[in-house]
Chains A and B, each alone.
Chain A
Amino acid sequence: MKDEMRRPDRSLVAPRREIVKLERRLFLKQGISLGALTLLSGCEITDTEAVQKVLWRMAQWNDRVQAALFDPNKLAPTYPESAITKPFPFNAFYSEAEAPRVDAANYKLELGGLVRDKAPWTLDKLYALPETSQITRHICVEGWSAIGKWSGVTFRTFLEQVGADLTAKYVGFKCADDYYSSIDMASALHPQTLLTFKFADQLLPAAYGFPMKLRVPTKLGFKNPKHIAAIFVTNDYPGGYWEDQGYNWFSGS
């Protein structure tokens, strides 16, 4: 589960580099043996800046490859009701008890960026949108997967209705739990990408993202934001909560 994951403590890296530099200077002055130098410079290969730079470049290259591999007409496999995973796993960067309780009466979905009609949407107005259902496999970046049923409006329909610039590069999401993420426009317009209000034919419970979750069966689970509070369309790379920490941005399935 994501809440079990810990980032390595980067704050330790910089001081260590300073120490290594200092030790090297001492080495030059005092002529310590070569063996001692190799011990001192034996910092983890993954922490060196050059390696990080190469990995980052490769991740950007992989974003481009995945965008090229993405077929806007290729549908994710769908499953019968009998295949649904019960219970469906809770997943977030916090525990289930900490899931935000969004007040339905005062909720308003905000719109921003390259959108013609930025008027906020109440839940009643959102629930009135045409509803479709699909049973698809949610695949987590960690490797596990689970099959669930989500219902809501085709995201393309919603974007068209609010007059979003469909030629823009990104659609970004800000969530009530301070999570944020973004997807490419091609994936946003995919026929299976839904703005969902129901899970297993029931109104989304808090744990699964009340009042709404974007369901993108062509992307990994963390690209499916829950508790969405604001949607914006932009040409400036918006990043994301996990993406900014190192997960691949495109993360297509």
Chain B
Amino acid sequence: MADPEQAATVGTRRILIHPWVVRVTHWINALAMLMMVLSGWQIYNASPLFGFKFPKSLTLGGWLAGGLQWHFAAMWLLALNGIVYLLYGIFSRHFKSSFLPVTPKSVWSEFRNALRGRISHEIGVYNAVQRAAYIGVICVAIVLILSGLSIWKPVQFQELAALMGGYEGARLVHFFAMALLVLFVLVHVIMVALVPRTFMPMLTGHATKPSHEHGG
């Protein structure tokens, strides 16, 4: 996207990193996901799939019925917000310009560099690992939603549920997709803590960078 607010002070320029649609949907999504995950843990605790329960202090709703109410209310916020984000990403070419191209080779070499402490961070441009991670997490979110629909309506959406391995299969898929998503959020938050200058652009939209650099 062209940036109307480019070029201000001498030697640096303000560039648009995150368009307002991305910023607004990002924070609504953060809130909706928090509600979905914490209420989801409450629901999980009523009939754990594995030999553990989530700590009660990390659950929402007080008991199962409350957790279900939160989950089935927040899902609308999550879904509507997600639809706005996806439509914007596709039609504004935001996805294409920010996440592509990405090749397995570039992801692998960037990943190895990152492990050696050489993270490439050009302001306003995602490196290959970031691109792969963002594409990946969008796919995980879609699986999370489809498996959730299969658990919610295993009769009405039985064709979808069959794709997930039936009702019980969908419960497992939903759990592991949640786990992947939570893992992504943890890494995402840690990365922001490690590179704090990436935080403000998600609020204000802008960052300043030396004018001799290219990108944006």
Quick one: which of A110-135 are within 8 Å of B by CB? none
Q: A8-B63, A46-B60 are in contact. Are A248 and B156 (CB under 8 A)?
A: no
Q: A242-B65, A248-B68 are in contact. Are A142 and B47 (CB under 8 A)?
A: yes
| Chain B residues within 8 Å of A8, by CB | 62-63, 66
Interface size class of A (residues with CB under 8 A): 35 or more
| Chain A residues within 8 Å of B171, by CB | 143
| Chain B residues within 8 Å of A137, by CB | 154, 167
* Chain A window 240-253, contacts with chain B (Cβ cutoff 8 Å), 1 for yes, 0 for no: 00100111100011
| Chain A residues within 8 Å of B155, by CB | 74-77, 217-218, 252-253
B46 touches A143 (CB 8 A): yes
Quick one: which of B66-105 are within 8 Å of A by CB? 66, 68-70, 72-73, 76
Task: For the complex, give the distance between the alpha carbons of A75 and B154 in Å.
Answer: 11
Interface check A86, CB cutoff 8 A: no
Interface check B158, CB cutoff 8 A: yes
Interface check B168, CB cutoff 8 A: yes
Interface check A141, CB cutoff 8 A: yes
* Chain A window 38-58, contacts with chain B (Cβ cutoff 8 Å), 1 for yes, 0 for no: 000000101100000011101
* Chain A window 74-116, contacts with chain B (Cβ cutoff 8 Å), 1 for yes, 0 for no: 1111000000000000000000000000000000000000000
Q: A69-B156, A145-B167, A248-B68 are in contact. Are A140 and B73 (CB under 8 A)?
A: no
- Residue of A5, A143, A145 touching B43 (CB-CB under 8 A): A143
Main secondary structure of the interface of A (DSSP, over half): loop
Task: For the complex, give the distance between the alpha carbons of A215 and B207 in Å.
Answer: 61
* Chain B window 150-172, contacts with chain A (Cβ cutoff 8 Å), 1 for yes, 0 for no: 01011110100000001110010
| Chain A residues within 8 Å of B65, by CB | 242, 245-247
Interface check B61, CB cutoff 8 A: yes
| Chain B residues within 8 Å of A71, by CB | 156
Task: For the complex, give the distance between the alpha carbons of A75 and B155 in Å.
Answer: 7
Task: For the complex, give the distance between the alpha carbons of A56 and B73 in Å.
Answer: 9
Determine how close the nearest CB of chain A comes to the CB of B160; give it in whole angstroms.
Answer: 12
What residues of chain B have their CB less than 8 Å away from a CB belonging to chain A? Answer: 43-44, 46-47, 49, 60-66, 68-70, 72-73, 76, 151, 153-156, 158, 166-168, 171
Can you show 15 pairs from A to B with CB atoms below 8 A apart? A5-B64, A55-B69, A55-B73, A58-B72, A58-B73, A58-B76, A69-B156, A74-B155, A137-B154, A141-B68, A143-B47, A143-B49, A144-B47, A145-B167, A248-B68
What residues of chain A have their CB less than 8 Å away from a CB belonging to chain B? Answer: 5-8, 44, 46-47, 54-56, 58-59, 61-62, 66, 69-71, 74-77, 137, 139-145, 217-218, 242, 245-248, 252-253
